[in-house]
């Protein structure tokens, strides 16, 4: 039970940090007021992607860890295929849930064994938070804008 409470608290802290960081961006005016219209290409709505969209676009991308000491430097998602780079360099799979904003993630690491958890896409589609089953704290990744490619 204590682990679940710690995980929820850590997830809330990560999401709060992401929200604060987003609020400190250059968007808006000097008073900190939000911009009058969302940047081009964004609707500003809170609709979540369907499971198909999550597999085909929502979670697709190259995601960079927000932690300096993470074993995973980048997480690349193309459809249901996943690849990590860094100290933990592994292929894996993504299985989107019905909500489309979450997915089960499974890494098959030859050296360190398998690693699994849940990935959750934020409403702005620019951060991915992964709660690894083996870890007490979630790990946040930010979208890099690079074209995702997973080489066979």
Tokens of 50: 């369907």
Closest CA to 27 of 18, 12, 37, 13: 37
Unique residue bearing structure tokens 């870890």: 135
Position 114 scores a pLDDT of: 87
Looking at residue 70, the DSSP 8-state letter turns out to be -
| Domain spans, the chain | 2-143
Looking at residue 27, the DSSP 8-state letter turns out to be -
Cα–Cα distance measured from residue 17 to residue 120, given in angstroms and rounded to the nearest whole number? 15
In this prediction, residues 49-69 reach a mean pLDDT of: 74
Report field, pTM of the whole predicted structure over 0.75: no
Burial of 33-54, coded b for 16+ CB within 10 Å and e otherwise, reads eeeeeeeeeeeeeeebbbbebb
Position 57 scores a pLDDT of: 57
Predicted confidence band of residue 22 (pLDDT cuts 50, 70, 90): very low
State percent of the chain over pLDDT 70. Answer: 62
């Amino acid at each position: 039970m204590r682990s679940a409470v710690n995980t929820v608290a850590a997830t809330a802290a990560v999401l709060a940090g992401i929200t604060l960081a987003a609020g400190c961006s250059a968007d808006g005016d000097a008073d900190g007021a939000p911009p009058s219209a969302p940047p081009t290409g964004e609707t500003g709505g809170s609709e979540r992607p369907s499971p198909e969209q999550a597999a085909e676009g929502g979670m697709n991308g190259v995601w960079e860890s927000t932690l300096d000491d993470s074993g995973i430097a980048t997480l690349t998602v193309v459809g249901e295929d996943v690849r990590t780079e860094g100290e933990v360099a592994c292929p894996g799979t993504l299985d989107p849930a019905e909500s489309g904003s979450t997915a089960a993630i499974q890494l098959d690491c030859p050296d360190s064994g398998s690693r699994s958890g849940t990935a959750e896409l934020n409403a702005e589609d620019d951060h991915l938070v992964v709660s690894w089953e083996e870890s007490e704290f979630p790990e946040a990744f930010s979208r890099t804008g690079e074209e995702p490619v997973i080489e066979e």
